Amino acid sequence: MTTATSPHAAGTFPHGVHPADEKQYAENAAIEVLPTPKLVTIPLVQHLGAPAEAVVKTKQDVQMGEQIGKPAGFISAAVHASISGKVGMGCSVTMPNGRRVQAVPITAAETQPLAGVDLLDDVLGGDWPKDASQYEPKAIADAAGAAGIVGLGGAAFPSHVKLVRNAQKPIDTLLLNGCECEPYLTADYRLMLEYPAAVVCGALLAARANGAGRIVIVIEDNKPQAVEAMKKAAARTNIEVAVVHTKYPQGGERQAIYAITGRAVPTGGLPLDVGVVVVNVGTAAAIARAVVRGKPLTHRVITVTGPGIVRPANVLAPIGVTYGELIAHCGGLKPEAARVIAGGPMMGFSLGELDTPVTKGTSGVTVLTAREIDKAEQTTCLRCGRCVDACPLNLVPSKLGVAARSQDWDLARKYHMMACIECGCCSFACPASIPLTQLIRTGKTKLPRKK
């Protein structure tokens, strides 16, 4: 095991920004379990790809872990009940990004199969094997698919797709993303500190499935305790622990790949094109649970944090609980709270309603005060180029902002609007306070498809 990257890698990537990490609010808060809510509302769209199709009926009794939505294609994901209870009438909910999706409400039964410490141990604790050779590659991918696992770092891409071997594009490197570069969020950090064995097991299984010969856990150098915990857990395995420079968005797939391997994913391409697969550390733990224990993805660790929350925490919560209940569990909002964000401040969405349900891709809830959100008045573009200097994908955000505002779709395509990862670097760097990321995000939803 080594902490070195490949000979041609620099341990970082070009461009990017350095926002204050603000991890101090929740980094020392051990993972705790949210008490079973009276109701969960579970969206059938919590992933990229086709929506899941409901397979339960109103008034049907379901058990925790029972499938309530089946995948509607290869790029889709199953959805499972996160509590035991009775199914209510199907409904639609508004997600943090404004999209309306179908959902399945479940009213909790008086008795739950797992709660408190027992639930935490079942999801993350206990013994995990350090040898994946007993599991067949296809069986690992199939188990991840049946469990409805998606990327828990926020992208929510169905994980079984990354685990299937591709003869045309073989994988030689698996990266475990433990950077958690988004300010304020600490869920992955606490997972690596408290339950590193589950992460290691998931990494070995993922590499066994997709054929990667090299496994690297990637962690930023502002998390030395996580580095040591993962080194200890990975002892006597072929897993490397690579320490990279702290810079945003180091946790992006393309940025992590470049920092470790020196390979550049082409614009419009995928990590698969350069022989790499990237899996979040939380996703790896979920893969371990699916394969070793046969349990689907029903809960995830969510950071509730920021200067506007009474008691910042890292909470193991059932999918479908509301943001409001998470906030109430953490003591509620402080009087000076001014904005609640689903996720972190760089890539998250401001919430208009706190009864919005959390999903598999919900990594955090960040509550800011007026002090953090006050910005200078927006002015016209200065042509300074700072957004270009900051963009980790070498795009020209100022041009994309103009294209979005004017709905000039030819210009949008010329400057590769769809390649934008919406990381927020351009907005952060802009001295004119132009909301470039929001403009591009809106433009992407309106960009007509080429016929």
**Tokens coding 349:** 């969405």
Return d(Cα 359, Cα 154) in angstroms, integer. 10
Do residues 205 and 291 touch, judged by C-beta distance below 8 A? yes
Q: What is the pLDDT of residue 66?
A: 98
**Tokens coding 197:** 């064995």
Q: What is the pLDDT of residue 431?
A: 94
CA of residue 335 relative to chain centroid, distance: 29
Strand runs labelled E in 143-182: 173-177
How far from 380 is each of 133, 180, 384, 388, 428, CA to CA, in Å?
59, 33, 11, 16, 16
Q: Give the bridge partners for 273, in sequence order.
A: none
C-alpha gyration radius of the chain: 21
Return d(Cα 199, Cα 195) in angstroms, integer. 7
Per-residue pLDDT of the chain (451 residues; tens, 9 = 90+): 334 455 446 799 999 999 999 999 999 999 999 999 999 999 999 988 889 999 999 999 999 999 999 999 888 999 999 999 999 999 999 999 888 999 999 999 999 998 889 999 999 999 999 999 999 999 999 999 999 999 998 788 999 999 999 889 999 999 999 999 999 999 999 999 999 999 999 999 999 999 999 999 999 999 999 999 999 999 999 999 999 999 999 999 999 999 999 999 998 889 999 999 999 999 999 999 999 999 999 999 999 999 999 999 999 999 999 999 999 999 999 999 999 999 999 999 999 899 999 999 999 999 999 998 887 688 999 899 999 999 999 999 999 999 999 999 999 999 999 999 999 999 999 999 999 999 999 999 898 876 4
Cβ burial of 272 (10 Å; 0-12, 13-18, 19+) is middle
Q: What is the pLDDT of residue 9?
A: 65
Q: What is the pLDDT of residue 276?
A: 97
SS3 at position 38: coil
Q: Give the bridge partners for 305, in sequence order.
A: 366
CB atoms within 10 A of CB 324: 17
Parallel, antiparallel or unpaired: strands 337-342 and 349-350? antiparallel
Cβ burial of 139 (10 Å; 0-12, 13-18, 19+) is middle
Return d(Cα 375, Cα 377) in angstroms, integer. 6
Q: Is the backbone peptide bond immediately before 249 cis, with ω within 30 degrees of 0?
A: yes
SS3 at position 197: helix
Q: What is the pLDDT of residue 373?
A: 87
Return d(Cα 85, Cα 38) in angstroms, integer. 9
